[in-house]
Amino acid sequence: NAGVTQTPKFRVLKTGQSMTLLCAQDMNHEYMYWYRQDPGMGLRLIHYSVGEGTTAKGEVPDGYNVSRLKKQNFLLGLESAAPSQTSVYFCATGIAGMIYNEQFFGPGTRLTVL
Amino acid sequence: AQSVAQPEDQVNVAEGNPLTVKCTYSVSGNPYLFWYVQYPNRGLQFLLKYITGDNLVKGSYGFEAEFNKSQTSFHLKKPSALVSDSALYFCAVRDPDSGGYQKVTFGTGTKLQVIP
């Protein structure tokens, strides 16, 4: 099993360009999350999904959109990239109803916006 | 609101010595506490968690953590550090009363450097 995978691993964008980050999981988990990791700030939640067809905003949703059309995939979109969105992006999954369980993370996508 | 603090940006320890990485938390109810480790250019990996019961929790790679309710702390420990333990460590907290989607708050991370 691949677990949680993220595509692409690296990307460089120019300001104003758009892109989509893909998170795929084969763990059959209901919950999926997108975080960004910035130095000295830990992980901050961008958006999350509690099931296919549902999404919700996290702590820092501005400038991002998400979709969960299939249970196994969670897409994060940047419509018009800004330098402030330079970060490492992590996808994570979790088991529904098991509030004490850990989250499972993908390997990350390093995004640079010039 | 829930929060977690890791007061040290970096911890240096000699190989073979015991190590401690500190974490304190704030939640309105009884917390669920987690430690994750991140190796360079990798995602976070789960190490251990405290849910209830015994205050000393054992996890992967010889790590353990002690839950102290009166001090609202959950420090990560290992009796004998290895160079391969060098990584970034994150403490995280979940308040069971915070509602449905398993909101987890992460600390800012502590870089552990084990010196040969």
B102 and A56 in contact by Cβ < 8 A?
no
Mean pLDDT score of chain B: 92
Which whole number is the average pLDDT over A103-107? 94
C-alpha to C-alpha distance for A81 and A14, rounded to whole angstroms: 7
Report the alpha-carbon distance of residue B37 to residue B14 in Å, rounded: 19
pLDDT exceeds cutoff 70 at A100: yes
Which of A38, A102, A105, A109 has the most B C-beta neighbours within 10 Å, making it the best mutation to test the interface with B? A102
Contacts of A100 in chain B (CB under 8 A): 32, 49, 51, 94, 96
More confident residue, A48 or B41: A48
What is the reported pLDDT for B98? 64
| pLDDT in the model for residue B2 | 84
**How far is it, in rounded angstroms, from Cα B39 to Cα B42?**
5
Q: Give me the percent of chain A exceeding a pLDDT of 70.
A: 98
- At residue A66, the pLDDT reads 97
* Closest residue to A105, CB basis, from B41, B43, B109: B43
| Binding-site residues on chain B for chain A (CB distance < 8 A) | 9, 32, 34, 36, 41-46, 49, 51, 90, 94, 96, 100-104, 106-109
The predicted pLDDT at position B28 comes to 83
Listed in sequence order, the residues at least 6 apart from A31 whose beta carbon sits closer than 8 Å to its beta carbon are A48, A49, A50, A51, A93, A94, A95, A96, B101, B102
Q: Percentage of residues in chain A with pLDDT exceeding 90?
A: 86
Q: Is A64 left (phi over 0), alpha (psi -120 to 50) or beta?
A: beta
Q: Which residue has the tokens 């098991």?
A: A98
Task: Look at A13 and B100; give whichever has higher pLDDT.
Answer: A13
The amino acid sitting at A36 is R
Residue B86 reports pLDDT greater than 70: yes
Residues 6+ apart with CB under 8 A from B20: B11, B75, B76, B77
Q: Is B65 helix (H, G, I), strand (E, B) or coil?
A: strand
Residue contact B43–A103, C-beta within 8 A: no
> Do the strands A109-113 and A10-13 form a parallel or antiparallel pair, or are they unpaired?
parallel
Residue A96 has pLDDT above 70, yes or no: yes
